[in-house]
Structure 1
């Protein structure tokens, strides 16, 4: 049985950041990473963004170089199925056992699925392997149906249409983005896709995906009985945190693995970070965040904590998306059902620059959206920390 000073279950960006955090305080402790993926840790946002739109960004820039930079031993295609907390070991699907002194759970999320044939032309998009296959499908086919109007679905629809592929984008809301943006901004967001040639299919949910009569394509069956044909179907229907291991081993789980300010679980030899971690944020309260900034910052903090740091995790993460040259960033809660204050701050080559404050019943901001406004996430965090309720003051906070 191989044993490690630090064992990380999960092989994503959290694992990379955690290994680097460990090395900041411990130069020689052994690090093991058990990953179910077929690739070593890589930069995930590139899979739906820069790899499609930036010709200077190539595949060799995607791997993070975790093993070379930290000395971590990475075992791919390794799915951990059980934790023995008393014996401080984990067991994988093949029956292998690995010992640990300190363990980090960084198992990430799994994509939501619908009924679909077992076909390499149906992708529940999540991994670098999915990206490689979608590239092949985009080169082979004329039309791809994208399902889901969130980050993954919208970014993939934009990526595909900019690479000459016909795209149908199916989403359940009336206007693309109306679950995030106030109505005028949602209309602006939707117009980006329509003007680029994406065929929008609003107010529809997918019941199932089936092979068509000729068996050389696929059909997406919608909830009104209508069907869309495509050479391939890619689904971005959201994700759920992979908390099975924590639950089975008796750790506290409540909308994620419950951790304290140092990212430790209810077992003092086990930490959790990334998508699965429910942590106490100093601005947002207890929360769970599924975005890259949190993966990187929390992963590093968890690694440092495992290696003996007494620093609490105090970073409030931001999240972002970028389509058709427009980038938006946000901190906090984006709920268009809240009272919103929309502030236009000028124009640039990408269009209007806009700040949106999402306010609770007292008028205090609980979320800040930055549309084409660069280098302002720290200012947005300060707004949430100070929570001014005066509208005139808010209007002048972020220029």
Structure 2
């Protein structure tokens, strides 16, 4: 049995950042990373963003390589199947056992799937292997059906149409982005995809499909079908909580942790996509975005290594497609009341989502990231707001 002072289950961005945090306080403690995928941590957002849109961002830049830190060992193709809390060990699918002093669960999320097996022409997009497969398809200029209208789906549809593919994007809203964005913003986003040559099938969901003779046929919920050379799914992810639940840890939409990112077992921590934590502004929160992976990962590493801090960062989320570069904190729900502070000529704007007169979310459109702290300040202000108190509160110049 191998034993580590710090054992991390999951080899994603949280793991890489946790190693950085540990090494800030402990230069000698041994660190083990157990990852189910065949490679180590990568900057996952690049798989649907910069690798497609930035010619200066090479494939070699995605690898995070935490194993380069002394005393850190990365085990790939290693899926953990059980935790023994009394013995402080974990067991893998191959029967190996690893001991730990402190354990971090950074198991992330698994893509939502339908009853259509993955293959070279059907991908539930999440991993480096998915990117490699999609890049091979893109190089052939095929017709690709992209399923899903949120982050991954919209980013991949934009990436593929800009890299020579014919793209059909199937999404559940009548207007693309209509569930998140104010109507005017959603209309502009929708038009941008049409102008780029993407075929939009709105108000539709995929209920099933089949693959045969080098093509994929998707069944839609209105009884129609769509045939394409390949189908790429971006339907969101589900937190991988089964390992924690089987070990008797509490979960609620994720593994429940306190402000110090500790589970109900003081030797076990959780962070990233899989954690549900008490946000200082938003209350009990679950964030599946890169800013949270970076900040929470580093914080949990320091805490595991003896820091007395708490996690007090409210993460933002973002996406970049065509000429839309947006960032947001809090809730983006177009059914809420929305106060707009926009400059139509420049395409920039600030949009405040109000619930019961209080700001529940802030959207920054085509504004720099240095406005995010101002957005957090607005979000933290629990006093009732109205148009007069919000317009001009966050400067756009």
Give the alignment's TM-score, normalised by structure 1: 0.97
Report the CA distance between 1:69 and its aligned residue. 3.6
Residues 281 and 379, structure 2, Cα contact 8 Å, conserved in 1: yes
**2:343 corresponds to 1:358:** no
Deviates more, 1:140-149 or 1:30-39: 140-149
Matches within 5 A, 1:1-399: 1-69=1-69, 71-212=71-212, 215-345=213-343, 347-348=345-346, 352-361=347-356, 363-374=357-368, 375-388=370-383, 389-399=385-395
Deviates more, 1:386-395 or 1:36-45: 386-395
Give the direction of change, closer, same or farther, for the CA distance of 1:347–1:39 in structure 2 (3 Å limit).
farther
Secondary structure, counterpart of 1:354 in structure 2: strand
Report the CA distance between 1:140 and its aligned residue. 2.4
Give the direction of change, closer, same or farther, for the CA distance of 1:336–1:118 in structure 2 (3 Å limit).
closer
Secondary structure, counterpart of 1:376 in structure 2: helix
Give the direction of change, closer, same or farther, for the CA distance of 1:149–1:75 in structure 2 (3 Å limit).
same
Within 1, Cα distance between the matches of 2:77 and 2:353?
A: 43
Secondary structure, counterpart of 2:139 in structure 1: helix
Report the CA distance between 1:393 and its aligned residue. 2.0
Structure 2: segments with no counterpart, 5+ residues: none
Residues 16 and 66, structure 1, Cα contact 8 Å, conserved in 2: yes
Within 2, Cα distance between the matches of 1:218 and 1:331?
A: 38
Deviates more, 1:135-144 or 1:236-245: 135-144
Secondary structure, counterpart of 1:104 in structure 2: strand
Residues 143 and 228, structure 2, Cα contact 8 Å, conserved in 1: yes
Residues 19 and 70, structure 1, Cα contact 8 Å, conserved in 2: no
Report the CA distance between 1:226 and its aligned residue. 1.3
Structure 1: segments with no counterpart, 5+ residues: none
Within 2, Cα distance between the matches of 1:172 and 1:224?
A: 12
Question: Which of structure 1's runs of 4+ aligned residues deviate more than 6 A?
Answer: none
